[in-house]
Amino acid sequence: MLLLHFVALAISAAGYVVTTFVNDKAICYLYPESLRHSGQAVDDARSIHQAFDICGQNGDVIFTNHVFHINSVMNTTNLVNCNVILQGELRFSTDIAYWLSHSYDVVFQNQSTAWLFGGENVTFRADGGWYNGQGQTWYTQNQNHSNQRGRPISITFFESKNLLVDGLRIIQPQFWATFITYSKNVSLTNLYVNATSNDQWGTVNTDGYDSWNSDTLLVENAVVQNGDDCIAAKGNTTNLHVKNITCYDNFGMTIGSVGQYPDMPDYVENVTFEDVRCINCMEGAFIKTWQGVTNEDNLNNDAGGGGSGLIKNVTFRNFEMTNVALPIQISQCIYTEADGRYCNTSKMAIEDITWSNIRGTTRYNVGASIYCSDVHPCPGIKFENVHLESVNHTLGLPMYGTTLQEEVYQCKNIIGQDGSGVPCNRVAPNNYGQVVTSNIKE
């Protein structure tokens, strides 16, 4: 009698949530409101919240194989011993005015999210389902600008411990696709992200994966096609392992940017990126920090700088670069490098960074640009078996518009440079940006 009453309550209160029990375990099956509203895009967020209220602790939540319309923000946190299975499509609305004013704040860089998700001992598996951010509306509206207050991260995994996300596919993310924050022991496996634009505007700020203030992280088996960082470790990311990743048309593997906030030191330690393929990328394996003084006018539309901290023990290993504009870089004034302002003021120390078994082709004649600030020269920089050559060289063609026909490796302020293995043949300028569009001329 109790079981029958509970099921009836769930259906009545939540529209299309059907609850059953198996060995005292609650299982919530979600069905979209459109099934009883002549296919109309009625908001399913209320039903989704109800399902997690009923089954989010010691239960299962199953999105059945239908289209779910998400027209409002979702907060499904504080889950415990919960399994989530996504069989259908989560289709987020394109009501820009709503999202700009309602997205949940995530603290970092004045950013926000459409969905806060998190808990302890939780699995989230996509069983044929996917997340559709309908991002084209955002790409067109944003017109190649960068950070925009209220533009939502697709899903933020928040205050989570022992979380596994497997098989998630995010198509046309609104902003960053995934964000890990204030979490420990989180694994994203078999991740797929695709952000492509069908008009003249690009997919700026559609990072595939970002982590911040989190520890013991795994990203394994991922394919990311987008217009920004493929995988990025932001401040206070520690013990991150990234393995078997394919990146298309983006900025590859990234540490940073870090050092943005004077009152929030950043420590990024023990990070390994390995078995990575970067295809037609702008960058491959790089580190970017803010300058050491606060700047209110920068190219990122997000003021900052002056933060301190340490980047230590980072390994980029087993990379295959294909037509990459700038395979390897360290920059310590990433948003003021255009005119070289403050590049020697960075308070971020960088040490013990290794690039090992890096092979492939460069789009231009530059293999690496490593610029460490005068304030913090970099010890422990190592190249091991790094072999890069320009696409033109592999075709037997000259590099046009330049007298430099050999691969250029720019360096500045590397402690122990002679024993680093870096074949430095040019001094790195302090204003060398992360978007490279031509050969180094002379």
When computed from its CA atoms, the radius of gyration of the chain, rounded to whole angstroms, is: 23
CA distance 349 to 351: 7
* Residue 53 within a domain: yes
pLDDT in tens, 18-42: 999 998 899 999 999 999 898 899 9
Q: For 119, what's the count of Cα atoms within 13 Å in the CB-facing half-sphere? A: 23
* Residue 439 within a domain: no
Q: Looking at the DSSP assignment, which residues form a beta bridge with residue 242?
A: 219, 273
Output the pLDDT for position 286: 97
Is the pLDDT higher at 78 or at 400?
78
Is the pLDDT higher at 399 or at 383?
383
Output the pLDDT for position 14: 42
Q: Between the CA atoms of 372, 377, 378 and 384, what dihedral angle is there, to the nearest 10 degrees? A: 70
Output the pLDDT for position 34: 92
Closest C-alpha to 176, from 131, 220, 218, 235:
131
| Three-class SS state of 138 | helix
Output the pLDDT for position 1: 35
Output the pLDDT for position 145: 87
Output the pLDDT for position 80: 98
pLDDT in tens, 134-186: 999 999 999 998 888 899 999 999 999 999 999 999 999 999 999 999 999 99
Output the pLDDT for position 110: 79
Instruction: Enumerate the active-site residues.
Output: 228
Q: Phi, psi (5° rounding) for residue 46?
A: -65, -45
CA 234 to chain centre: 9
Q: Which of 11-25, 57-71, 216-230, 383-397 has the lowest mean pLDDT?
A: 11-25
* Residue 388 within a domain: yes
CA distance 34 to 44: 9
For the beta carbon of residue 391, count every other beta carbon within 10 angstroms: 16
Q: Kindly indicate the confidence band of residue 278, based on its pLDDT and cuts at 50, 70 and 90.
A: very high
Cα angle, residue 336 at apex, residues 333 and 339 outer, rounded to 5° = 115
Checking if the pLDDT of 245 tops 70, the result is yes
Element (H, E) at 52: helix 45-55
pLDDT in tens, 195-244: 999 999 999 999 999 999 999 999 999 999 999 999 999 999 999 999 99
* Residue 441 within a domain: no
Please compute the mean of the pLDDT values over residues 261-278 and round it to a whole number. 96
Checking if the pLDDT of 407 tops 80, the result is yes
* Residue 435 within a domain: no
Please compute the mean of the pLDDT values over residues 386-392 and round it to a whole number. 95
Tokens of 392: 């033109």
* Residue 161 within a domain: yes
Burial of 294 (0-12, 13-18, 19+ CB in 10 A): middle
Please compute the mean of the pLDDT values over residues 358-375 and round it to a whole number. 96
Is the pLDDT higher at 304 or at 103?
103
One DSSP character per residue, 375-395 reads: SSPBPSEEEEEEEEEEHHHHT
Checking if the pLDDT of 4 tops 80, the result is no
Q: Looking at the DSSP assignment, which residues form a beta bridge with residue 426?
A: 410
Please compute the mean of the pLDDT values over residues 268-275 and round it to a whole number. 98
Range of the domain at 129: 2-427
Element (H, E) at 14: helix 2-14
Q: What is the mean pLDDT of the chain?
A: 93
Name residue 154's amino acid.
S
pLDDT above 90 as % of the chain: 82
* Residue 433 within a domain: no
Output the pLDDT for position 297: 61
pLDDT above 70 as % of the chain: 95
Q: Looking at the DSSP assignment, which residues form a beta bridge with residue 161?
A: 120, 184
Q: Between the CA atoms of 251, 254, 259 and 261, what dihedral angle is there, to the nearest 10 degrees? A: 70
Q: How many domains does the chain have?
A: 1
